[in-house]
Structure 1
Amino acid sequence: MVLQHFDREADPGEVSRFISVHGYAIIDDLADAELMDRLATEVEPFVEASDAGRDEYDGQFTRRTGSLIERCPASRELVMHPTVVDTVRHFLGHATAQQLHLTQLISVGPGETKQKPHRDQMAFDFFEFPTDYHVQCNTMWALTDFTADNGATHIHPGTSATDDATAHDVASGQATMRRGSVLFYDGKVLHGAGANVSNEVRQGVNITYAVGWVRQEENQYLACSQEVARTLDDDLLKMMGYQQGAFALGYVGDQQDALSKLRGEHTKVKVIGDIAQNNDDIRTFVAELGPN
Protein backbone atom coordinates (compact mmCIF):
# COMPACT_ATOMS: atom_id res chain seq x y z
CA MET A 1 0.00 0.00 0.00
CA VAL A 2 1.33 3.44 -0.97
CA LEU A 3 0.80 6.18 1.60
CA GLN A 4 -0.24 9.78 0.82
CA HIS A 5 2.43 12.50 0.69
CA PHE A 6 2.04 16.30 0.75
CA ASP A 7 4.56 18.86 -0.44
CA ARG A 8 6.21 21.28 1.97
CA GLU A 9 3.81 24.09 1.06
CA ALA A 10 0.77 22.08 2.15
CA ASP A 11 -1.94 23.89 4.08
CA PRO A 12 -1.91 22.77 7.75
CA GLY A 13 -5.71 22.67 7.83
CA GLU A 14 -5.76 20.35 4.82
CA VAL A 15 -3.13 18.11 6.42
CA SER A 16 -5.11 18.02 9.68
CA ARG A 17 -8.30 17.05 7.88
CA PHE A 18 -6.48 14.24 6.11
CA ILE A 19 -5.16 12.95 9.45
CA SER A 20 -8.72 13.05 10.83
CA VAL A 21 -9.86 10.65 8.13
CA HIS A 22 -6.83 8.43 7.57
CA GLY A 23 -4.90 8.68 10.85
CA TYR A 24 -1.67 9.89 9.26
CA ALA A 25 -0.08 12.29 6.74
CA ILE A 26 3.43 12.76 5.35
CA ILE A 27 4.94 16.11 4.37
CA ASP A 28 8.05 15.81 2.23
CA ASP A 29 11.25 17.83 2.72
CA LEU A 30 9.87 20.11 5.46
CA ALA A 31 13.23 20.58 7.24
CA ASP A 32 16.38 21.53 5.38
CA ALA A 33 19.62 19.55 5.40
CA GLU A 34 21.51 22.09 7.50
CA LEU A 35 19.04 21.76 10.39
CA MET A 36 19.10 17.97 10.25
CA ASP A 37 22.93 18.01 10.14
CA ARG A 38 23.05 20.14 13.29
CA LEU A 39 20.63 17.87 15.08
CA ALA A 40 22.54 14.74 14.08
CA THR A 41 25.78 16.22 15.43
CA GLU A 42 24.19 17.40 18.68
CA VAL A 43 22.45 14.12 19.47
CA GLU A 44 25.23 11.68 18.50
CA PRO A 45 27.02 11.49 21.89
CA PHE A 46 23.71 10.92 23.69
CA VAL A 47 22.73 8.14 21.31
CA GLU A 48 25.99 6.37 22.04
CA ALA A 49 25.18 6.52 25.76
CA SER A 50 21.60 5.22 25.33
CA ASP A 51 20.81 1.60 26.11
CA ALA A 52 19.04 -0.68 23.66
CA GLY A 53 15.46 -1.73 24.34
CA ARG A 54 14.53 -4.27 26.98
CA ASP A 55 12.28 -6.50 24.87
CA GLU A 56 10.86 -7.05 21.40
CA TYR A 57 8.39 -4.18 21.79
CA ASP A 58 11.07 -1.63 22.75
CA GLY A 59 13.42 -3.20 20.20
CA GLN A 60 16.50 -5.14 21.21
CA PHE A 61 18.50 -3.32 18.55
CA THR A 62 16.74 0.03 19.06
CA ARG A 63 17.96 2.97 21.14
CA ARG A 64 15.64 5.69 22.42
CA THR A 65 17.24 9.01 23.35
CA GLY A 66 15.16 11.68 25.10
CA SER A 67 15.52 15.11 26.73
CA LEU A 68 16.04 16.64 23.29
CA ILE A 69 14.96 20.16 24.29
CA GLU A 70 17.89 20.45 26.68
CA ARG A 71 20.42 18.34 24.82
CA CYS A 72 19.84 19.42 21.23
CA PRO A 73 19.04 23.07 20.46
CA ALA A 74 18.25 22.13 16.86
CA SER A 75 15.34 20.00 18.08
CA ARG A 76 13.60 23.14 19.34
CA GLU A 77 13.18 24.29 15.76
CA LEU A 78 11.44 21.04 14.88
CA VAL A 79 9.19 21.26 17.95
CA MET A 80 8.06 24.75 16.98
CA HIS A 81 8.08 24.40 13.19
CA PRO A 82 5.17 26.62 12.07
CA THR A 83 3.63 24.02 9.75
CA VAL A 84 3.72 21.37 12.45
CA VAL A 85 2.42 23.63 15.22
CA ASP A 86 -0.43 24.90 13.02
CA THR A 87 -1.36 21.34 12.02
CA VAL A 88 -1.29 20.15 15.63
CA ARG A 89 -3.38 23.07 16.87
CA HIS A 90 -5.90 22.49 14.12
CA PHE A 91 -6.08 18.75 14.82
CA LEU A 92 -6.26 19.14 18.63
CA GLY A 93 -8.23 22.38 18.53
CA HIS A 94 -11.12 20.85 20.48
CA ALA A 95 -9.00 21.31 23.64
CA THR A 96 -8.25 24.59 25.41
CA ALA A 97 -4.50 24.12 25.07
CA GLN A 98 -1.97 21.90 23.34
CA GLN A 99 1.37 20.83 24.80
CA LEU A 100 4.53 18.92 24.05
CA HIS A 101 4.10 15.27 25.01
CA LEU A 102 7.41 13.65 24.13
CA THR A 103 10.79 14.28 22.48
CA GLN A 104 12.79 11.23 21.53
CA LEU A 105 15.27 10.11 18.90
CA ILE A 106 14.56 6.52 17.86
CA SER A 107 17.55 4.72 16.34
CA VAL A 108 16.55 1.39 14.79
CA GLY A 109 19.67 -0.71 14.25
CA PRO A 110 20.40 -3.45 11.70
CA GLY A 111 18.83 -6.75 12.65
CA GLU A 112 15.83 -5.18 14.39
CA THR A 113 12.58 -7.07 13.93
CA LYS A 114 9.23 -5.57 13.01
CA GLN A 115 7.55 -3.91 15.98
CA LYS A 116 4.16 -5.17 17.12
CA PRO A 117 1.45 -2.84 15.75
CA HIS A 118 0.02 -0.66 18.51
CA ARG A 119 -1.82 2.57 19.31
CA ASP A 120 0.14 5.24 21.20
CA GLN A 121 -2.79 6.39 23.34
CA MET A 122 -2.51 3.10 25.25
CA ALA A 123 0.03 5.01 27.39
CA PHE A 124 -2.94 6.62 29.16
CA ASP A 125 -3.54 3.47 31.21
CA PHE A 126 -5.39 1.89 28.24
CA PHE A 127 -8.27 4.32 28.82
CA GLU A 128 -10.98 4.02 26.17
CA PHE A 129 -11.25 7.58 24.88
CA PRO A 130 -14.30 8.25 22.69
CA THR A 131 -13.72 7.30 19.08
CA ASP A 132 -14.06 10.89 17.91
CA TYR A 133 -11.88 12.43 20.65
CA HIS A 134 -8.15 12.66 19.96
CA VAL A 135 -5.73 13.30 22.82
CA GLN A 136 -2.50 13.39 20.84
CA CYS A 137 -0.90 14.18 17.49
CA ASN A 138 2.49 12.63 16.80
CA THR A 139 5.30 13.44 14.42
CA MET A 140 8.26 11.40 13.24
CA TRP A 141 10.96 13.41 11.46
CA ALA A 142 13.30 11.47 9.20
CA LEU A 143 16.84 12.17 10.42
CA THR A 144 17.95 9.53 7.93
CA ASP A 145 16.07 8.40 4.85
CA PHE A 146 13.20 6.04 5.79
CA THR A 147 13.19 3.05 3.44
CA ALA A 148 11.36 -0.27 3.25
CA ASP A 149 14.61 -2.05 4.14
CA ASN A 150 15.75 0.04 7.10
CA GLY A 151 12.51 -0.06 9.09
CA ALA A 152 10.27 2.75 7.85
CA THR A 153 7.18 3.01 10.08
CA HIS A 154 4.21 0.84 9.14
CA ILE A 155 0.86 2.67 9.20
CA HIS A 156 -2.54 0.94 9.00
CA PRO A 157 -4.61 3.76 7.43
CA GLY A 158 -8.11 4.40 8.65
CA THR A 159 -7.82 2.27 11.79
CA SER A 160 -8.23 5.11 14.29
CA ALA A 161 -11.94 4.46 14.68
CA THR A 162 -11.90 0.66 14.38
CA ASP A 163 -11.62 -2.03 17.03
CA ASP A 164 -8.41 -4.04 17.38
CA ALA A 165 -9.72 -7.15 15.65
CA THR A 166 -10.77 -5.17 12.60
CA ALA A 167 -7.70 -2.90 12.64
CA HIS A 168 -5.23 -5.79 12.48
CA ASP A 169 -6.90 -6.98 9.28
CA VAL A 170 -6.22 -3.64 7.56
CA ALA A 171 -3.16 -3.74 5.31
CA SER A 172 -0.30 -1.43 6.24
CA GLY A 173 1.84 0.88 4.16
CA GLN A 174 5.34 1.99 5.05
CA ALA A 175 6.12 5.67 5.57
CA THR A 176 9.10 5.76 3.24
CA MET A 177 10.39 9.32 3.06
CA ARG A 178 13.48 11.38 2.47
CA ARG A 179 15.57 12.90 5.23
CA GLY A 180 13.92 16.08 6.49
CA SER A 181 10.41 14.84 5.80
CA VAL A 182 7.87 14.33 8.58
CA LEU A 183 5.20 11.75 9.29
CA PHE A 184 2.12 12.80 11.29
CA TYR A 185 -0.02 10.13 12.96
CA ASP A 186 -2.70 10.29 15.60
CA GLY A 187 -2.72 8.41 18.90
CA LYS A 188 -5.38 5.93 17.78
CA VAL A 189 -4.03 4.69 14.46
CA LEU A 190 -2.41 1.24 14.41
CA HIS A 191 1.28 1.51 13.55
CA GLY A 192 4.75 0.18 14.35
CA ALA A 193 8.38 0.36 13.27
CA GLY A 194 9.44 -1.89 10.43
CA ALA A 195 12.17 -4.50 10.46
CA ASN A 196 15.65 -3.20 9.63
CA VAL A 197 17.17 -5.65 7.16
CA SER A 198 19.73 -3.09 5.94
CA ASN A 199 23.27 -2.42 7.16
CA GLU A 200 22.46 1.10 8.36
CA VAL A 201 20.75 2.66 11.36
CA ARG A 202 17.36 4.25 10.74
CA GLN A 203 16.93 7.40 12.85
CA GLY A 204 13.68 9.24 13.43
CA VAL A 205 12.97 12.22 15.67
CA ASN A 206 9.74 11.39 17.48
CA ILE A 207 8.13 14.62 18.71
CA THR A 208 4.58 14.23 19.93
CA TYR A 209 1.94 16.66 21.16
CA ALA A 210 -1.12 16.23 23.35
CA VAL A 211 -4.09 18.15 24.66
CA GLY A 212 -3.16 20.33 27.61
CA TRP A 213 -5.11 18.44 30.29
CA VAL A 214 -3.32 15.07 30.14
CA ARG A 215 -0.06 14.09 31.81
CA GLN A 216 2.92 14.34 29.45
CA GLU A 217 4.70 11.11 28.58
CA GLU A 218 8.09 12.82 28.98
CA ASN A 219 8.24 15.02 32.08
CA GLN A 220 9.37 18.28 30.50
CA TYR A 221 10.03 20.01 33.83
CA LEU A 222 12.75 17.48 34.70
CA ALA A 223 13.86 16.54 31.18
CA CYS A 224 14.85 20.18 30.69
CA SER A 225 16.53 21.87 33.66
CA GLN A 226 15.28 25.23 34.89
CA GLU A 227 18.69 26.72 34.04
CA VAL A 228 18.18 25.86 30.38
CA ALA A 229 14.44 26.54 30.45
CA ARG A 230 15.04 30.14 31.52
CA THR A 231 17.03 30.69 28.31
CA LEU A 232 14.16 29.56 26.07
CA ASP A 233 11.53 31.78 24.50
CA ASP A 234 8.01 31.99 25.90
CA ASP A 235 6.29 30.24 22.99
CA LEU A 236 8.47 27.15 23.35
CA LEU A 237 8.06 27.14 27.13
CA LYS A 238 4.28 27.32 26.80
CA MET A 239 4.38 24.38 24.41
CA MET A 240 6.49 22.49 26.96
CA GLY A 241 3.70 22.96 29.50
CA TYR A 242 4.47 26.28 31.19
CA GLN A 243 0.86 27.35 30.67
CA GLN A 244 -2.61 26.46 31.88
CA GLY A 245 -3.64 23.13 30.44
CA ALA A 246 -7.30 23.91 31.08
CA PHE A 247 -9.39 25.41 33.87
CA ALA A 248 -7.34 25.30 37.11
CA LEU A 249 -4.67 22.98 35.68
CA GLY A 250 -0.98 23.81 35.96
CA TYR A 251 -0.71 26.72 38.35
CA VAL A 252 1.96 27.00 41.06
CA GLY A 253 1.45 27.84 44.74
CA ASP A 254 -1.10 30.61 45.22
CA GLN A 255 -2.51 30.31 41.69
CA GLN A 256 0.69 31.68 40.18
CA ASP A 257 1.27 31.33 36.47
CA ALA A 258 3.96 28.69 35.81
CA LEU A 259 5.82 30.75 33.23
CA SER A 260 5.79 33.73 35.59
CA LYS A 261 7.20 31.53 38.36
CA LEU A 262 10.03 30.35 36.10
CA ARG A 263 10.84 33.97 35.19
CA GLY A 264 10.91 35.04 38.85
CA GLU A 265 7.74 37.09 38.52
CA HIS A 266 4.46 36.93 40.44
CA THR A 267 1.61 36.89 37.93
CA LYS A 268 -1.57 35.00 38.79
CA VAL A 269 -3.05 32.63 36.24
CA LYS A 270 -5.72 33.88 33.89
CA VAL A 271 -9.23 32.54 34.27
CA ILE A 272 -10.29 29.96 31.74
CA GLY A 273 -12.57 32.48 30.00
CA ASP A 274 -9.45 34.45 29.04
CA ILE A 275 -7.42 31.55 27.71
CA ALA A 276 -10.24 29.71 25.92
CA GLN A 277 -10.37 32.34 23.21
CA ASN A 278 -12.99 30.70 20.99
CA ASN A 279 -14.78 28.39 23.40
CA ASP A 280 -18.19 29.92 24.12
CA ASP A 281 -19.28 26.98 26.30
CA ILE A 282 -16.40 27.49 28.74
CA ARG A 283 -16.88 31.27 28.89
CA THR A 284 -20.59 30.78 29.58
CA PHE A 285 -19.80 28.28 32.32
CA VAL A 286 -17.34 30.66 33.98
CA ALA A 287 -19.84 33.53 33.83
CA GLU A 288 -22.55 31.40 35.42
CA LEU A 289 -20.15 30.13 38.07
CA GLY A 290 -19.46 33.61 39.36
CA PRO A 291 -16.77 34.60 41.87
CA ASN A 292 -15.60 32.06 44.43
Structure 2
Amino acid sequence: MMTASTHVPATTSLAELADHPRRDGYVIVDNLVPGSLMDIIADESAPYLDATPMGYNAMIGRKSRRTGALVARSPGCRTLIGNPTILGVCKDFLGHAIAFQVMLTQVISIEPGESDQALHRDQNAFDFYPFPDDYHVQCNTLWAMTDYTADSVLLYSGKIVHSGAANRSQQVRRAINVNYCVGWVRQEENQFLSLPTEVARTLDDDLLKLIGYQEGAWAMGYFRDLEDPLRAIRGGNVAYGFDATKLNGHAGTAFADQLTHSE
Protein backbone atom coordinates (compact mmCIF):
# COMPACT_ATOMS: atom_id res chain seq x y z
CA MET A 1 0.00 0.00 0.00
CA MET A 2 1.27 3.47 -0.88
CA THR A 3 1.23 5.95 2.01
CA ALA A 4 1.83 9.68 2.38
CA SER A 5 5.50 8.96 3.00
CA THR A 6 5.85 7.68 -0.57
CA HIS A 7 4.85 11.09 -1.94
CA VAL A 8 7.49 13.80 -2.28
CA PRO A 9 7.31 17.32 -3.73
CA ALA A 10 8.79 18.21 -7.10
CA THR A 11 11.36 20.37 -5.26
CA THR A 12 13.03 17.26 -3.79
CA SER A 13 16.71 16.97 -4.73
CA LEU A 14 17.70 14.62 -7.54
CA ALA A 15 19.90 12.59 -5.19
CA GLU A 16 17.01 12.04 -2.76
CA LEU A 17 14.62 11.18 -5.59
CA ALA A 18 17.05 8.55 -6.87
CA ASP A 19 17.52 7.13 -3.37
CA HIS A 20 13.82 6.28 -3.02
CA PRO A 21 13.60 3.69 -5.84
CA ARG A 22 17.06 2.45 -4.90
CA ARG A 23 16.02 1.91 -1.28
CA ASP A 24 12.24 1.41 -1.42
CA GLY A 25 11.65 0.44 -5.05
CA TYR A 26 9.46 3.43 -5.88
CA VAL A 27 8.38 6.99 -5.09
CA ILE A 28 5.62 9.34 -6.27
CA VAL A 29 6.69 12.85 -7.25
CA ASP A 30 3.79 15.26 -6.96
CA ASN A 31 3.06 18.16 -9.31
CA LEU A 32 6.07 17.54 -11.53
CA VAL A 33 4.53 18.80 -14.78
CA PRO A 34 1.58 21.07 -15.59
CA GLY A 35 -1.73 19.24 -15.86
CA SER A 36 -2.18 20.98 -19.20
CA LEU A 37 0.68 18.91 -20.64
CA MET A 38 -1.16 15.70 -19.79
CA ASP A 39 -4.26 17.11 -21.50
CA ILE A 40 -2.21 17.80 -24.64
CA ILE A 41 -0.82 14.27 -24.67
CA ALA A 42 -4.31 12.84 -24.16
CA ASP A 43 -5.58 14.81 -27.17
CA GLU A 44 -2.61 13.86 -29.36
CA SER A 45 -2.83 10.15 -28.53
CA ALA A 46 -6.63 9.91 -28.69
CA PRO A 47 -6.83 8.89 -32.40
CA TYR A 48 -4.59 5.88 -31.71
CA LEU A 49 -6.08 4.56 -28.46
CA ASP A 50 -9.26 2.86 -29.66
CA ALA A 51 -7.43 1.65 -32.78
CA THR A 52 -4.98 -0.29 -30.61
CA PRO A 53 -6.03 -3.95 -30.27
CA MET A 54 -6.63 -5.58 -26.90
CA GLY A 55 -3.78 -7.65 -25.49
CA TYR A 56 -3.27 -11.19 -26.74
CA ASN A 57 -2.45 -12.82 -23.40
CA ALA A 58 -3.18 -12.42 -19.69
CA MET A 59 0.13 -10.71 -18.93
CA ILE A 60 -0.42 -7.94 -21.47
CA GLY A 61 -4.11 -7.91 -20.58
CA ARG A 62 -6.96 -9.27 -22.68
CA LYS A 63 -8.98 -6.18 -21.80
CA SER A 64 -6.09 -3.75 -21.95
CA ARG A 65 -4.62 -1.69 -24.77
CA ARG A 66 -0.97 -0.65 -24.97
CA THR A 67 -0.50 2.18 -27.45
CA GLY A 68 3.13 2.86 -28.30
CA ALA A 69 5.24 4.96 -30.70
CA LEU A 70 4.56 8.03 -28.58
CA VAL A 71 7.70 9.84 -29.74
CA ALA A 72 6.32 9.79 -33.27
CA ARG A 73 2.67 10.32 -32.37
CA SER A 74 2.74 12.89 -29.56
CA PRO A 75 4.97 15.99 -29.50
CA GLY A 76 3.73 16.57 -25.95
CA CYS A 77 5.08 13.20 -24.89
CA ARG A 78 8.51 14.23 -26.16
CA THR A 79 8.45 16.96 -23.52
CA LEU A 80 7.48 14.38 -20.89
CA ILE A 81 10.27 12.01 -21.96
CA GLY A 82 12.86 14.77 -21.73
CA ASN A 83 11.70 16.14 -18.36
CA PRO A 84 14.89 17.45 -16.67
CA THR A 85 14.01 16.02 -13.26
CA ILE A 86 13.34 12.55 -14.64
CA LEU A 87 16.53 12.60 -16.71
CA GLY A 88 18.48 13.78 -13.66
CA VAL A 89 17.15 10.87 -11.62
CA CYS A 90 18.00 8.45 -14.44
CA LYS A 91 21.55 9.78 -14.63
CA ASP A 92 21.96 9.14 -10.91
CA PHE A 93 20.04 5.86 -10.68
CA LEU A 94 21.61 4.37 -13.83
CA GLY A 95 24.95 6.13 -13.39
CA HIS A 96 26.87 2.85 -13.23
CA ALA A 97 26.44 2.65 -17.03
CA ILE A 98 28.07 4.87 -19.64
CA ALA A 99 24.70 5.85 -21.10
CA PHE A 100 20.98 5.41 -20.62
CA GLN A 101 18.14 5.43 -23.13
CA VAL A 102 14.38 5.21 -23.52
CA MET A 103 13.23 1.61 -23.20
CA LEU A 104 9.58 2.05 -24.15
CA THR A 105 6.78 4.59 -24.46
CA GLN A 106 3.12 3.63 -24.23
CA VAL A 107 -0.31 4.67 -23.08
CA ILE A 108 -1.73 1.82 -21.01
CA SER A 109 -5.53 1.67 -21.14
CA ILE A 110 -7.06 -0.81 -18.70
CA GLU A 111 -10.66 -1.40 -19.72
CA PRO A 112 -13.59 -2.20 -17.39
CA GLY A 113 -13.65 -5.89 -16.53
CA GLU A 114 -9.88 -6.39 -16.78
CA SER A 115 -8.56 -8.83 -14.18
CA ASP A 116 -5.48 -8.55 -11.97
CA GLN A 117 -2.22 -8.84 -13.86
CA ALA A 118 0.26 -11.44 -12.64
CA LEU A 119 2.94 -10.15 -10.29
CA HIS A 120 6.21 -9.55 -12.12
CA ARG A 121 9.41 -7.53 -12.38
CA ASP A 122 9.89 -5.36 -15.46
CA GLN A 123 13.56 -6.35 -15.74
CA ASN A 124 12.37 -9.87 -16.58
CA ALA A 125 11.97 -8.53 -20.12
CA PHE A 126 15.70 -9.13 -20.56
CA ASP A 127 15.25 -12.88 -21.03
CA PHE A 128 14.83 -13.28 -17.25
CA TYR A 129 18.54 -12.57 -16.79
CA PRO A 130 19.43 -12.63 -13.05
CA PHE A 131 20.90 -9.15 -12.65
CA PRO A 132 22.80 -8.65 -9.35
CA ASP A 133 20.75 -7.15 -6.54
CA ASP A 134 22.81 -3.96 -6.62
CA TYR A 135 22.69 -3.52 -10.42
CA HIS A 136 19.73 -1.52 -11.69
CA VAL A 137 19.05 -1.92 -15.39
CA GLN A 138 15.88 0.20 -15.53
CA CYS A 139 14.35 3.41 -14.18
CA ASN A 140 10.63 3.47 -14.93
CA THR A 141 7.92 6.12 -14.87
CA LEU A 142 4.13 5.94 -14.82
CA TRP A 143 2.23 9.18 -15.39
CA ALA A 144 -1.48 9.17 -14.53
CA MET A 145 -4.02 10.29 -17.10
CA THR A 146 -6.92 9.25 -14.84
CA ASP A 147 -7.49 8.10 -11.24
CA TYR A 148 -4.85 10.11 -9.38
CA THR A 149 -3.22 13.49 -9.85
CA ALA A 150 -2.44 13.81 -13.53
CA ASP A 151 0.61 16.01 -13.04
CA SER A 152 2.33 13.49 -10.75
CA VAL A 153 4.56 10.54 -11.61
CA LEU A 154 5.36 7.17 -10.09
CA LEU A 155 9.09 6.43 -10.32
CA TYR A 156 10.02 2.78 -9.80
CA SER A 157 12.86 0.36 -10.41
CA GLY A 158 12.83 -2.62 -12.74
CA LYS A 159 13.31 -4.88 -9.73
CA ILE A 160 10.13 -4.06 -7.84
CA VAL A 161 7.43 -6.75 -7.91
CA HIS A 162 4.15 -5.23 -9.08
CA SER A 163 1.09 -5.73 -11.26
CA GLY A 164 -1.74 -3.87 -12.91
CA ALA A 165 -4.81 -4.06 -10.69
CA ALA A 166 -8.18 -5.26 -11.92
CA ASN A 167 -10.54 -2.58 -13.21
CA ARG A 168 -13.84 -3.04 -11.38
CA SER A 169 -15.16 0.38 -12.39
CA GLN A 170 -17.09 1.39 -15.48
CA GLN A 171 -14.34 3.77 -16.63
CA VAL A 172 -11.17 3.16 -18.64
CA ARG A 173 -8.06 3.61 -16.48
CA ARG A 174 -5.18 5.22 -18.39
CA ALA A 175 -1.55 6.05 -17.67
CA ILE A 176 1.52 6.94 -19.69
CA ASN A 177 4.37 4.49 -19.21
CA VAL A 178 7.85 5.71 -20.16
CA ASN A 179 10.71 3.45 -19.13
CA TYR A 180 14.44 4.11 -19.33
CA CYS A 181 17.27 1.58 -19.31
CA VAL A 182 21.05 1.40 -19.44
CA GLY A 183 22.44 2.00 -22.90
CA TRP A 184 23.94 -1.42 -23.53
CA VAL A 185 20.70 -3.45 -23.46
CA ARG A 186 18.15 -3.81 -26.23
CA GLN A 187 15.15 -1.51 -25.99
CA GLU A 188 11.78 -3.14 -25.36
CA GLU A 189 10.12 -0.87 -27.93
CA ASN A 190 12.07 -0.63 -31.18
CA GLN A 191 12.40 3.14 -31.51
CA PHE A 192 14.01 2.99 -34.95
CA LEU A 193 10.96 1.22 -36.39
CA SER A 194 8.46 3.23 -34.34
CA LEU A 195 9.86 6.62 -35.38
CA PRO A 196 9.94 7.42 -39.12
CA THR A 197 13.26 8.88 -40.30
CA GLU A 198 11.56 12.00 -41.62
CA VAL A 199 10.19 12.68 -38.12
CA ALA A 200 13.54 11.88 -36.50
CA ARG A 201 15.17 14.61 -38.59
CA THR A 202 12.88 17.19 -36.94
CA LEU A 203 13.91 16.28 -33.38
CA ASP A 204 16.74 17.81 -31.36
CA ASP A 205 19.95 15.89 -30.81
CA ASP A 206 19.36 15.28 -27.09
CA LEU A 207 16.06 13.52 -27.75
CA LEU A 208 17.55 11.53 -30.63
CA LYS A 209 20.33 10.29 -28.36
CA LEU A 210 17.80 9.41 -25.70
CA ILE A 211 15.78 7.22 -28.07
CA GLY A 212 18.90 5.39 -29.26
CA TYR A 213 20.90 7.50 -31.70
CA GLN A 214 23.99 7.19 -29.54
CA GLU A 215 26.55 4.57 -28.66
CA GLY A 216 25.09 2.75 -25.70
CA ALA A 217 28.55 1.83 -24.45
CA TRP A 218 32.04 1.61 -25.87
CA ALA A 219 31.79 -0.08 -29.30
CA MET A 220 28.07 -0.80 -28.96
CA GLY A 221 25.67 0.69 -31.47
CA TYR A 222 28.09 2.56 -33.70
CA PHE A 223 27.09 3.49 -37.24
CA ARG A 224 28.87 2.33 -40.37
CA ASP A 225 32.65 3.00 -40.10
CA LEU A 226 32.77 3.40 -36.30
CA GLU A 227 30.76 6.61 -36.65
CA ASP A 228 28.42 8.35 -34.22
CA PRO A 229 24.84 7.09 -34.86
CA LEU A 230 23.66 10.70 -35.13
CA ARG A 231 25.45 10.85 -38.48
CA ALA A 232 22.67 8.68 -39.89
CA ILE A 233 20.32 11.62 -39.28
CA ARG A 234 22.58 14.69 -39.36
CA GLY A 235 25.24 13.63 -41.85
CA GLY A 236 28.78 14.97 -41.64
CA ASN A 237 27.81 17.74 -39.22
CA VAL A 238 28.33 15.32 -36.32
CA ALA A 239 31.79 14.65 -34.92
CA TYR A 240 33.34 11.35 -35.95
CA GLY A 241 33.73 8.52 -33.44
CA PHE A 242 33.02 7.88 -29.77
CA ASP A 243 33.18 10.95 -27.49
CA ALA A 244 35.01 9.70 -24.41
CA THR A 245 34.51 13.04 -22.63
CA LYS A 246 30.83 12.24 -22.10
CA LEU A 247 31.35 8.96 -20.29
CA ASN A 248 29.13 8.49 -17.25
CA GLY A 249 29.63 6.67 -13.94
CA HIS A 250 32.22 4.12 -12.88
CA ALA A 251 32.04 2.50 -16.33
CA GLY A 252 33.40 5.76 -17.72
CA THR A 253 36.23 5.71 -15.19
CA ALA A 254 37.09 2.14 -16.12
CA PHE A 255 37.06 3.01 -19.82
CA ALA A 256 39.34 6.02 -19.29
CA ASP A 257 41.73 3.79 -17.34
CA GLN A 258 41.71 1.29 -20.20
CA LEU A 259 42.63 4.03 -22.67
CA THR A 260 45.48 5.17 -20.42
CA HIS A 261 46.96 1.67 -20.32
CA SER A 262 46.60 1.37 -24.09
CA GLU A 263 48.87 4.35 -24.78
Query: What TM-score results when the alignment is normalised by the length of structure 2?
Result: 0.94
Distance 2:189 2:218 in 1: 22
Distance 1:33 1:132 in 2: 35
Quick one: distance in 2 between partners of 1:2 and 1:136? 21
Q: Secondary structure at the match of 2:235?
A: coil
1:258 aligns with 2:260: no
Contact persistence 2:96–2:248 (CA under 8 A): no
C-alpha deviation, 1:256, in angstroms: 1.2
> Identical aligned pairs, as a percentage?
45
Q: 1:1-292, aligned counterparts within 5 Å?
A: 1-3=1-3, 4-145=6-147, 177-265=148-236, 267-270=239-242, 273-276=244-247, 279-290=252-263
| Distance (Å, rounded) in 2 between the aligned partners of 1:55 and 1:261 | 37
**1:245 counterpart letter in structure 2:** G
2-structure distance, mates of 1:280, 1:258: 23
1:277, CA displacement in angstroms?
A: 5.3
Shift of 1:250: 1.3
Output the CA distance in 2 between the equivalents of 1:127 and 1:270. 28
**Partner Cα separation in structure 1 for residue 248 and residue 10 of structure 2:** 29
Q: Aligned residues, how many?
A: 258
Runs of 4+ in 1 over 4 A off after TM superposition: none
Partners of 1:247 and 1:286 in 2: CA distance: 11
The two structures, once aligned, show a CA RMSD in angstroms of: 1.3
CA distance in 1: counterparts of 2:188 and 2:2, whole angstroms: 31
What letter corresponds to residue 241 of structure 2 in structure 1?
V
Residue 66 of structure 1 aligns with an amino acid whose one-letter code is G
Higher mean displacement: 277-286 or 89-98: 277-286
Quote the Cα distance in structure 1 between the aligned partners of 2:181 and 2:25: 15
- Please tell me whether the aligned partners of residues 113 and 195 of structure 1 are also in contact (alpha carbons under 8 angstroms): yes
Instruction: Please report how far the alpha carbon of residue 108 of structure 1 lies from its aligned counterpart in structure 2 after TM superposition.
Output: 0.5
Query: Aligned-pair distance for 1:29?
Result: 2.0
Q: CA deviation at 1:57?
A: 1.3
Once the two structures are superposed, what CA deviation does each residue of 1:152-172 show, in whole Å capped at 9, x if it has no partner?
xxxxxxxxxxxxxxxxxxxxx
2:108 counterpart SS class: strand
Out of 102-111 and 22-31, give the one that drifted further: 22-31
Contact 2:49-2:65 at 8 Å conserved across structures: yes
Closer, same or farther in 2 for the Cα pair 1:277/1:59, shift >3 Å? closer
What do residues 118-174 of structure 1 show as CA deviations (whole Å, max 9, x unaligned)? 0011111111111110111100000112xxxxxxxxxxxxxxxxxxxxxxxxxxxxx
Q: Is the 8 A contact 2:227 2:242 kept in 1?
A: no
Q: Distance in 2 between matches of 1:287 and 1:260?
A: 28
Shift of 1:258: 0.7
Retained in 2: the 8 A contact 1:244–1:269?
no
The whole-number CA distance in structure 2 between the counterparts of 1:31 and 1:184 is: 14
Displacement of 1:219? 0.9
Cα offset, 1:40, TM superposition: 0.5
